[in-house]
Structure 1
Amino acid sequence: MSHAAAVESWLAYSRPLLPIQNPLWAFVHNNILLQWEDRPFRRAVREAAALYRARPYESERFFRRQLRRGRVERATLGEVLLARWPAERERPRDAEEAVVRFLAEPDLGDDVPPERLVPGPSAEHLLRYSVRDRPLQDWLVPIIASYLDQGLAPWPNPFASEGLWAFFVASVESTPTFGFEWAPELKARLRRHRERGLGLEELIHEEVRSVASADDAASYVLQTLFVLKGWSGMVWKLESEPQVAPAEVPHLELKEWLAVMLVSMHALDEALRRDHPHHRAPVYSRNTIGLGRLERWQEAYERSFGAQLLATLERDLARPLPRREIAAQALLCMDDREESMRRVLEGPGYDIETYGVVGFFNFDMNFHALGAGRASRQCPPVVEPSRTIRELPVDEGGQDWARSRTADKLGASLALALYLQSRTLVRGFFVSLLAGLLSFLPLVFKLLLPSRVHVWRRRLQWMVLPRPATRIEIDAAGGYSPEEQAQIVRSILRTGGLVRDFRSLVAVVGHGSTTNNNPLRQAYGCGACSGNPGKPNARSYALLANRPAVRARLRELGIEIPDATLFVPFFHDTTLDEIELLDRALVPPERLEEVLALAERLQRAAKVNAAERCLRLLPRQAPRSPEAAYEHVQDRGHDLAQPRPEYGHNRVAACIVGRRSCTLRSFLDRRSFLVSYDPTIDPDGSVLRDAVLGTVPVAVNIAMDYYFSRVDNDGFGASSKLPLNVVSLLGVITGSKSDLRIGLARQQIELHEPMRILVLMEAPAERIRALVEGHGRLKRLVHGEWMRLGKIDPESGAIELWSEGEFRPWRAVWPEAPILRDAELAPVFDRHRDHVVGVAGGRA
């Protein structure tokens, strides 16, 4: 095999396993180990733990604390231990004895072999990561950050067309040796390669084979890239998908980055061997030692939650449905943050029937907002946008539009000039001084009165530069055809089960999040809209659903929407708990009062929702009224110094696909995605397929992102927000020189309970089985135990769990599960018995 072919084979092995990195503007929730889903969960996390240098489970200390507090049930732990009791140990008489012995014998259950860092003798050539991490980062991070820069630097990259390797060589040659202890080894190594006239592939081949055998070479390359895994993932992302870059990507190849890392690492190793001749790497990854015990703990932890959830649903399904008057209907996202909002809306005094649908409302589009520099992706990561829809001013020649456009250009030019001038040697001092003096008082007010300053600023903007009225251009070339428009409206109504008994008003509610000074704000947005606000989707759906031509086609397809029914778009800000009426100008004048009354009802519900959220945001000093809670979340969202504007998907652990009657009587404490699906109107399973494939993969991605970021926030996550800095307009690093961070920040996951998600579907067993077996990723998720699967019988309400390849009655699978009394609240839904240790109320 030629050197080029060998290098390509090593890279082909590594590329699929690199972390999935997106620039900040395009952040989406992903299963951090998405590339490992072709393996069973337990095996995948063991292998990944060695590469990521991270724990795949919480610590035993954490689990023992959960056992003492009752979050892990002793009976559940005992059943798990009995099912996986080591064959070489004397079997206990019962579950309680199994628990006692497990707690008393630290090596019991330690039957999972640890992972090798690099198979074979090549491990002997690696120095400990802790010794070389810092000097390697100090050298390489400024190089890769400068080369990939998307606009922070004042000068253009002179090597953009020549490549990263040329930039690296020039950097080595121009770097002084003073203060750079291993510069002689680096310069000498590079000089030797150049004198021999080695090409890039030959250089990589020689560097790899100097420390690794032919059998170990691919693994060694992968492990090399994982030394700076975040940057490696970003390099591969920008090489394979340059269109996701905020600006323009310079010439970039992963093999050049590999060459840079190999030469730098081996030069540093040379220097370290000189100073630390006996300091060698361990053969085994310490993060994969003792995983057998932690696997059992994790199983008991998840099973304790699942048993209480199913016990709650089982009891409540046997109770009669409450009688209620329905005044209006609402389509909301299936997001777990809307679960509490839906509970309020369906209660007395609101009387709104709700449906949980995909938050992108089935628009596979990019959306180019008026005045935006680029289009935003408004569909899930698993859906490829097929077109770009634009927002246009209603009156393109109007005075408001001309003034707004001129002001935008002047504002952007002024901001850029201040940014660049503040970083010059002489002018920067005076510009920074003047800007600092002018911004001092506004900054003080913004810190003391964040929400009020926001309101004042917004009013001033509207007075000076009113934003023009806009419309969504959905019919033009590149938009949706009349047939596609009807099919989009039908798909949401049919999947959600709203095909009859339409009320006079149907609210179409998109959602998003407002945060200040937050580079990770995309993680708080609508997951189905790739982290972006769902405003354009809600506006587009209501626009289409109100069209006579669309309704006429729907009538032909079997859905009769009365002429009196009006679809009205709203936006729910899940941080501020603020409801915004969208496209008010499109509301018929005679219906405006009715629509405003609905908007007021939604806003009242949002304030009650804010009060429920504050029970965890401020557990020791929760506001005493919905109004006070609303004021608090308003301040929280606009506060520059607030690292926890909201808690996002913290504590989510389930996804229930079925009619609202399955969950209407249950308090689920914002812990479940709720997907509306009516099995009675689905004779062939096609509706179930649409309901599941558009939601469950998103739910799994979110749950896994939170899971891994929680179990080891340094290895799989972004660590604390406080020292994070934006770099190259691509991502965040800790301090000034670190690996590009992946996953979620510590303040985003503090209250989360790390578990694989439990998915329940209200459908016949054979229909679910056909869906799982017929879809590649779903099959891998179920059979690989990346998620748990259960079913609710549409006729009897009986609940079954997927176990050993078939559905079985859930109490036969989990015999230790509790039986709840009528008024009893399961501990996992009781905020007074929260067991996750985290900071809820402070800023730091």
Structure 2
Amino acid sequence: MNAADKGSTEQLFDRVMRRIAPVWPLDSFVAVNPYWGFADQLFSEAAAQLQGTVGERVIMDRRWYADRVQNGKLPLPDILQAAESLGLSTDEEEWRDYLWGTSEPSMRLPTLPELLDRRGHASISQYVVEQISRFLAAYYDRGQSLWQFPKDAGMGLFGAWRQYTLMDRSLSPLGLKAIRPLLLHLSPDGAAARHWAVRTLGIPKVAEEAYLLVLLKSVNGWASWCRYLLWQAEMQGESHADLADLLAIRMVWEALLHQTARPKALERWHQQLQGWILADKSADAEDALRGEALLQASEIAYRRVVAASIRRRPAGKKIATTRPLVQAAFCIDVRSEVYRRHLESAMPSLETIGFAGFFGVMLDYRRQGDYAPRTQTPVLLNPQVHVEEQGLEPIFQRRFRRLRRSAEWKHFKLSAASCFSFVETAGLSYVGRLLADTLGWHRPSQPPDEAGLTAAERASLQCALPASMSLDERVAMAEFILTGLGLNQGVAPIVLLVGHGSSTTNNPHRAGLDCGACAGQTGEVNAKAAASLLNDPQVRQVLVAKGWDLDERCCFLPALHDTTTDRVEILGGLNDPRLDAQTLAEFRAAQEQAANLTRLERMSRLEPDLRDSQAVTQNMIFRGRDWSQVRPEWALAGNAAFIAAPRWRTREMNLAGRAFLHDYDAVKDPGFAVLTLIMTAPLVVANWINLQYYGSTVDNQRQGCGNKVLHNVVGGTLGVLEGNGGDLRIGLSEQSLRDSNSGLQHEPLRLSAFIEAPREEMDKIIEGNEILRQLVGNRWLSIQQISPEGAIYHRKATGQWIAI
């Protein structure tokens, strides 16, 4: 292979690897757009490609839409409107025939191991995935295994797999021992192995990229993990070879089987490969486009409901501009929408604000005793500030002793010397613990920041910004926060910065219920850091001198919203002499009323028969403590809209917990810097969340993680397996999306963004940002403008604006 061909092949490998979306570990699990690598393609084109190669469904089956038409949830005129916008037929009878017709499955690209499988024998294709998965689980283990996998740092992932496979005795029972001498003579270098595999397989150029994608997708979970490692490295301007090495592993398996397969099997494989190449794929493309029309029709119907409810400015009147007594800034998370609505109704003199839950403080955070800091910033951005946990040394020492005792006890229970005799020796002493767990008497599993601490000790710890930051740097950060929150004027005497987290037990994906804007952590650290900064007397003095409308009595309080129980806890500052006791008491009463109303609303989806407020509260608390509960909350299921506008537009709207609410007032943003930030960061993060729920719903087998009851944690924090083997599972479980009583809880829709800003400015931002340009232009999300008069305009993918 000459240098030009080698370079071209390397570019091919890179394109295939970039199709894989990353997956974050369990301790920082965040929602990810599973189609991130296909954003450069039109939605329907990506759907047709994935269906026709991997067999992955990207659009719900047409019969699902037919049922919605039948029960009146999807009007046929909306389907015809969507069809016209996509250049399809608008014949009503033709669409009726299509909806109730029988769909022909796409011809999927076959791999060699699948054709080697024989009825009545162990599956070769399944074994290949299992063998790779077992190796990777041991290789990447983060402390779960008591016996560590020996690693040579200079060998790399592929070299380590080669050594592992040469010693793997499970090959012989499957009749694969003939691959061992071939592997022995293969270079341990991953790059050389990839090129050898390409030459050995001899796949026609026209199918080469598709075939390599199918190979990598066969271990999609582990490929997503390796893509995460590459993502993290590239965020720091570095690189990481493990994803390329994983591709080499999968390609080498294919090539080894190619060299040892019977001639008839190879002939059958070549015939099917040629058949796939020659097959007419226009029908798949048309079916995908028709499927997108049905999806778009559902979105049109939903957008119409939202657009009809958005408040218009009353004629001849102005919205009240009196200074509120309390302002509470919540994360834009859809769960906050429900609580905000009820809190405002309980205390009319209060104003809520929606802002991404990191509150503009892009930090990483290291607790005392931790080996490395963790990110508390949206994963699309790099932290800019390093924050250290601060507190009294005796507290840190007590926490360390408690956690060490717990770890030693766990190690003893699981060690080879005691695990067989432990149950017989200590079993009776665990009766009380098992009973308490079953009845929900214990508190939920402690989040990392609370583990080993009493409530009083936790409250005493601080998360202040580093002293090394200059006053000018602190003031600039404070101005950035206040501008983002829209607090240019009319700041209340009490301002709460309310992060959010959850309380659950026995839930490997608990971080997925926490704040995505804080990289899968609770918003506690960011709220404390931002409040500490905005209360800093020196910072406040400079801000007032620069013209910021900050009353000297104004006090910023950090708080945390538990989205499982809907309890809001103020995390400090209650002894501040500036606080007005009467206002605070009024807020606490409103807070309790809002919590009760929010629980009642959310319980209607969890336990519809419960109506009593006290019973609902007890049920919510029990859900968080119950080790067997698979649905402690619905999290972000149902999300479909993103609204960035002044709060008065939506203050009286019931959005049913389906909208990300970001406050934005273009009048307070003359240079549109805040608009740019909203559209390029929070909007993209919301799109990630939306498409993770979408992908997990339309094809849970490939983009979800299956049955939560069968999950087993692998590698400590790497992820989960469904059962005791197979590929690493990604995405959301079935229990997070549906239940046996009311069915599907998440309607798969692409995100519809409603933004009150000039159209020309939004066009500039879209065109100036490659990621946003691809997402909007290729129909992965839609943009709507709210005009100053309250009219709604939809932006077509081609850039034209049309009135809704």
Q: TM-score range, shorter-chain basis?
A: 0.7 to 0.9
Tell me if the contact between 2:330 and 2:354 (Cα under 8 Å) persists in the aligned partners.
yes
Instruction: Determine the C-alpha separation between the residues in 1 that align with 2:478 and 2:778.
Output: 35
The aligned counterpart of 1:755 is 749
Tell me if the contact between 1:377 and 1:385 (Cα under 8 Å) persists in the aligned partners.
yes
The question of 1:532 aligning with 2:521 is answered yes
Instruction: Determine the C-alpha separation between the residues in 2 that align with 1:217 and 1:428.
Output: 50
Amino acid at match of 1:788: S
Against the structure 1 CA distance between its residues 452 and 138, is the aligned structure 2 distance closer, same or farther, given a 3 Å change threshold? closer
Instruction: Determine the C-alpha separation between the residues in 1 that align with 2:315 and 2:625.
Output: 45
**One of 339, 343, 359 as aligned partner of 2:341:** 343
**One of 738, 755, 763 as aligned partner of 2:726:** 738
Question: For residues 706-737 of structure 1, what are the alpha-carbon distances to aligned partners after superposition, in whole Å with 9 as ceiling and x for unaligned?
Answer: 11111111111111211111112211111111
Deviation at 1:809, TM superposition (A): 4.6
Instruction: Determine the C-alpha separation between the residues in 2 that align with 1:543 and 1:710.
Output: 41
The question of 1:781 aligning with 2:775 is answered yes
The aligned counterpart of 2:128 is 136
Q: Unaligned stretches of 5+ in structure 2?
A: 739-744
Against the structure 1 CA distance between its residues 16 and 672, is the aligned structure 2 distance closer, same or farther, given a 3 Å change threshold? same
Amino acid at match of 1:21: V
Tell me if the contact between 1:577 and 1:630 (Cα under 8 Å) persists in the aligned partners.
no
Against the structure 1 CA distance between its residues 775 and 290, is the aligned structure 2 distance closer, same or farther, given a 3 Å change threshold? closer
Against the structure 1 CA distance between its residues 129 and 451, is the aligned structure 2 distance closer, same or farther, given a 3 Å change threshold? farther
Tell me if the contact between 1:314 and 1:798 (Cα under 8 Å) persists in the aligned partners.
no
**One of 33, 36, 44 as aligned partner of 1:34:** 36
Per the normalisation by structure 2, the TM-score is: 0.87
Q: Helix, strand or coil for the counterpart of 1:634? A: helix
Give 1:274-673 correspondences, 5 Å limit.
280=269, 281=272, 283=276, 290-313=287-310, 326-349=324-347, 351-370=349-368, 372=370, 374-393=372-391, 395-396=392-393, 398=394, 400-419=395-414, 421=415, 424=416, 426-450=417-441, 469-477=460-468, 480-584=469-573, 587-588=576-577, 591=580, 595=584, 598-619=587-608, 621-625=609-613, 627-673=614-660
Amino acid at match of 1:740: L
Deviation at 1:387, TM superposition (A): 2.9
Deviation at 1:104, TM superposition (A): 5.8
Instruction: Determine the C-alpha separation between the residues in 1 that align with 2:453 and 2:7.
Output: 61
* Deviates further, 463-472 or 428-437: 463-472
Against the structure 1 CA distance between its residues 588 and 151, is the aligned structure 2 distance closer, same or farther, given a 3 Å change threshold? same
Amino acid at match of 1:786: W
Q: Helix, strand or coil for the counterpart of 1:392? A: coil
Question: For residues 748-777 of structure 1, what are the alpha-carbon distances to aligned partners after superposition, in whole Å with 9 as ceiling and x for unaligned?
Answer: 222111111111111122222222222222
Against the structure 1 CA distance between its residues 679 and 60, is the aligned structure 2 distance closer, same or farther, given a 3 Å change threshold? same
Instruction: Determine the C-alpha separation between the residues in 1 that align with 2:16 and 2:291.
Output: 28
Deviation at 1:85, TM superposition (A): 6.6
Q: Helix, strand or coil for the counterpart of 1:43? A: helix
Deviation at 1:559, TM superposition (A): 1.5
Instruction: Determine the C-alpha separation between the residues in 2 that align with 1:563 and 1:134.
Output: 67
Q: Helix, strand or coil for the counterpart of 2:726? A: coil
Tell me if the contact between 2:313 and 2:319 (Cα under 8 Å) persists in the aligned partners.
no
Instruction: Determine the C-alpha separation between the residues in 2 that align with 1:35 and 1:758.
Output: 21
The aligned counterpart of 1:187 is 180
Instruction: Determine the C-alpha separation between the residues in 2 that align with 1:475 and 1:759.
Output: 37
The aligned counterpart of 2:742 is none
Question: For residues 272-327 of structure 1, what are the alpha-carbon distances to aligned partners after superposition, in whole Å with 9 as ceiling and x for unaligned?
Answer: 75896886557279997832432221121111111222122267978988979943
Question: For residues 111-162 of structure 1, what are the alpha-carbon distances to aligned partners after superposition, in whole Å with 9 as ceiling and x for unaligned?
Answer: xx968738xxxx7897389964322223222122222222122223223333
Q: Helix, strand or coil for the counterpart of 2:633? A: coil
Instruction: Determine the C-alpha separation between the residues in 1 that align with 2:534 and 2:300.
Output: 43
The aligned counterpart of 1:841 is none
Instruction: Determine the C-alpha separation between the residues in 2 that align with 1:258 and 1:355.
Output: 46
Deviation at 1:267, TM superposition (A): 4.1
Amino acid at match of 1:237: Y
Q: Helix, strand or coil for the counterpart of 2:556? A: strand
Instruction: Determine the C-alpha separation between the residues in 1 that align with 2:584 and 2:143.
Output: 45
Deviation at 1:615, TM superposition (A): 0.8
* Deviates further, 426-435 or 586-595: 586-595
Give 1:718-733 correspondences, 5 Å limit.
718-729=705-716, 730-733=718-721
Q: Helix, strand or coil for the counterpart of 1:155? A: coil
Amino acid at match of 1:522: A
The aligned counterpart of 1:815 is none
The aligned counterpart of 1:211 is 201
Q: Helix, strand or coil for the counterpart of 2:364? A: strand
Against the structure 1 CA distance between its residues 545 and 170, is the aligned structure 2 distance closer, same or farther, given a 3 Å change threshold? closer
Instruction: Determine the C-alpha separation between the residues in 1 that align with 2:444 and 2:225.
Output: 37
Question: For residues 600-632 of structure 1, what are the alpha-carbon distances to aligned partners after superposition, in whole Å with 9 as ceiling and x for unaligned?
Answer: 43233122211111011112x13322x322221
**One of 208, 214, 218 as aligned partner of 1:227:** 218
The question of 1:145 aligning with 2:141 is answered no
Amino acid at match of 1:231: W
Instruction: Determine the C-alpha separation between the residues in 2 that align with 1:775 and 1:464.
Output: 45
Against the structure 1 CA distance between its residues 462 and 700, is the aligned structure 2 distance closer, same or farther, given a 3 Å change threshold? closer
Instruction: Determine the C-alpha separation between the residues in 2 that align with 1:9 and 1:100.
Output: 45
Amino acid at match of 2:180: K
Instruction: Determine the C-alpha separation between the residues in 1 that align with 2:692 and 2:444.
Output: 34
Give 1:790-829 correspondences, 5 Å limit.
790-794=784-788, 796-803=789-796, 805-806=798-799, 808-811=801-804
* Deviates further, 650-659 or 256-265: 256-265
Amino acid at match of 2:667: T
Against the structure 1 CA distance between its residues 348 and 314, is the aligned structure 2 distance closer, same or farther, given a 3 Å change threshold? closer
Identity %: 26
**One of 668, 671, 675 as aligned partner of 2:662:** 675
Q: Unaligned stretches of 5+ in structure 1?
A: 246-250, 812-844
Deviation at 1:367, TM superposition (A): 1.3
Deviation at 1:4, TM superposition (A): 6.2
Instruction: Determine the C-alpha separation between the residues in 2 that align with 1:516 and 1:391.
Output: 26
Tell me if the contact between 1:679 and 1:763 (Cα under 8 Å) persists in the aligned partners.
yes
Against the structure 1 CA distance between its residues 486 and 724, is the aligned structure 2 distance closer, same or farther, given a 3 Å change threshold? same
Amino acid at match of 2:342: V
Per the normalisation by structure 1, the TM-score is: 0.84
Instruction: Determine the C-alpha separation between the residues in 2 that align with 1:317 and 1:114.
Output: 54
Q: Helix, strand or coil for the counterpart of 2:146? A: coil
Against the structure 1 CA distance between its residues 212 and 344, is the aligned structure 2 distance closer, same or farther, given a 3 Å change threshold? same
Q: Helix, strand or coil for the counterpart of 2:559? A: strand
Amino acid at match of 2:40: D
**One of 9, 12, 19 as aligned partner of 2:11:** 9
Against the structure 1 CA distance between its residues 533 and 606, is the aligned structure 2 distance closer, same or farther, given a 3 Å change threshold? same
* Deviates further, 633-642 or 218-227: 218-227
- Report how many aligned residue pairs link the two structures: 775
**One of 742, 753, 764 as aligned partner of 2:758:** 764
The aligned counterpart of 1:685 is 672
Instruction: Determine the C-alpha separation between the residues in 2 that align with 1:632 and 1:462.
Output: 26
* Deviates further, 583-592 or 514-523: 583-592
Tell me if the contact between 2:21 and 2:35 (Cα under 8 Å) persists in the aligned partners.
yes
Amino acid at match of 1:472: C
The aligned counterpart of 1:838 is none
Q: Helix, strand or coil for the counterpart of 1:755? A: coil
Against the structure 1 CA distance between its residues 106 and 734, is the aligned structure 2 distance closer, same or farther, given a 3 Å change threshold? closer
Tell me if the contact between 1:579 and 1:599 (Cα under 8 Å) persists in the aligned partners.
no
The aligned counterpart of 2:246 is 257
Tell me if the contact between 1:49 and 1:56 (Cα under 8 Å) persists in the aligned partners.
yes
Instruction: Determine the C-alpha separation between the residues in 2 that align with 1:804 and 1:454.
Output: 46
